[in-house]
Amino acid sequence: MKIVMLGAPGAGKGTQAINIAKEYDIPHVSTGDIFRANIKNGTELGMKAKEYMDKGALVPDEVTIGMLLDRISEPDCKNGYVLDGFPRTIPQAESLRKALTEKGDKLDVAVNIEVPDAVIEERMSGRRACLKCGATYHVVYTPPKKEGICDNCGSELVQRADDKPETVKARLATYHEQTQPLIDFYKKEGILKEVDGTQSPSDVFKAVMEALS
């Protein structure tokens, strides 16, 4: 089964992608992991990506797609994979479709984890992290025993820059402009499945598995 995950930042698509990969015993293919692996291994595409990343520029689509196609042509992907973080735009989705078609291949399902902006803003702006041990909390859903202090190591908890309300709003605006059109793209392809992401993670996973079966 070849699956692509869609959803706004903070919708929980990464968590569900990992769960699906375990359930189907297929690789969880994250673009972030691919970038890191290519840069670490000093591949030609990795070095190209690093040039752009070092300048703070976006890595061009052809470099990203090149790395992705290399990854999904590895033996562990022969029975399928879960794509997480790619495609993010219509041109990327079209390039991926073209590349897969040329190999006589195609995606089976696009799963969209649907969560309203207001819920995402509450989820993300309530997150707190311990920079010392990496533990994460939420002021409403998983608060620490003592406010502002990590249960594990007693260090101070902070709100990451990514989780500040103004940053969350900006990330959501980018998502609606660039990535949300993918929902219509995959609907037209006839492979879109929508899941309510406002439920508990275990209930979302149940709904995802029902959509995939």
User: What are the sequence ranges of the domains in the chain?
Assistant: 2-26+79-115+172-212
From 2, 71, 123, 127, active-site residue: 127
- DSSP state for residue 161 in the 8-state scheme: G
What's residue 100's pLDDT?
Answer: 92
Q: How confident is the model at residue 58 (pLDDT cuts 50, 70, 90)?
A: confident
- Indicate the SS3 state at residue 68: helix
Q: Known catalytic residue: 171? A: yes
What is the chain's mean pLDDT, rounded?
91
Give backbone dihedrals phi and psi of 111, rounded to 5 degrees, phi first. Answer: -105, 120
- pLDDT over 90 at 210, yes or no: yes
From 48, 88, 123, 128, active-site residue: 88
pTM: 0.83
Name the CA radius of gyration of the chain, rounded. Answer: 18
Q: Known catalytic residue: 160? A: yes
Q: CA–CA separation, 176 vs 171, rounded Å?
A: 9
From 50, 97, 171, 193, active-site residue: 171
Name residue 20's amino acid: I
From 22, 103, 160, 164, active-site residue: 160
Percent of the chain beyond pLDDT 70?
100
Q: Known catalytic residue: 13? A: yes
Q: Known catalytic residue: 71? A: no
- Give CATH superfamily name and number for 2-26+79-115+172-212: P-loop containing nucleotide triphosphate hydrolases (3.40.50.300)
The strand ranges marked E within 11-126 are 28-30, 81-84, 109-114
Give backbone dihedrals phi and psi of 169, rounded to 5 degrees, phi first. Answer: -60, -40
From 13, 71, 123, 128, active-site residue: 13
Q: What is the pLDDT of residues 91-102, one digit of tens each?
A: 999 999 998 999
User: Is 62 exposed, middle or buried, given 0-12, 13-18 or 19+ CB atoms closer than 10 A?
Assistant: exposed
